[in-house]
Structure 1
């Protein structure tokens, strides 16, 4: 187990006679990389979150439910007692008329065994095409937050990776300097007096 002393805050910026120019550069690079990562991550995350939430709000405003009719009997047998669960629903073809009077058809999830002509709710876009049910505002907020957070983390990883590459380069430069100095002074340690 290694013994460690108390943690010294901001040790990279404290005066030290052994600190080289490369150490000072590394300290500033590290500070700049973290500041840039936070700034880029927050900016990109916020922008993506707002964009997603605005797009989902436009969907909620534009998409409308229409009443359609089953074009065929739904496969399966109806559930007993009239109550259907998610597993009691099957795909069946339905038809509906859009607001502009055009006729459309598509597959919908309906209770098993529903007879042809049964009214069903169909969510449509402004052109009358079938779409999924739009997200509620709370669902949209959660999705926008998750996508914004993921985009922010991905964007913040770019300056962090670049900073890591720069630190590796500085480390190689430091090791080369040590090797040069060791080649000058190392042989002097082997000399003895006498």
Structure 2
């Protein structure tokens, strides 16, 4: 029986806003991988969020201090593409015998395209979902593997009216997402 093991891919990730990367996922994971945290690529927080990555790299101020949260551009104003990000990493894996490999994703929000060594896989949409991809047949025989994940926010992020309100304008209800992420409280914030 093949040995069962687990490797967490929690370090060595890079991230970049998709509109600043002119390469496809296939190119990123074959002929043109990023070489380091040089613009537009930055060190990524994984596991984490796009916001956590932006805060770590001082692209936006920490929203937990003062009124810095007001400086974060709302997706209703910026559009979805502004918060669509590439995440990239390399990992070593050389299988032997009857071993196989699954890539497990825990709670990508909201949807993603996964590229491994030039092969594309699309994950179903929805928040808090877990995904497992069997990738044994697309591992590089030399052991070095290139992984890129294009993460998209919800299709209908909606807008929160100035007076607040549970679920904002309820557009997010068109997606497989909870409405409390939009105007999660039923009153306008106190400043």
The TM tier, using the shorter chain, reads under 0.3
TM-score normalised by structure 2 residue count: 0.23
More strand per residue: 2
TM-score normalised by structure 1 residue count: 0.23
Q: Which has the larger radius of gyration?
A: 1
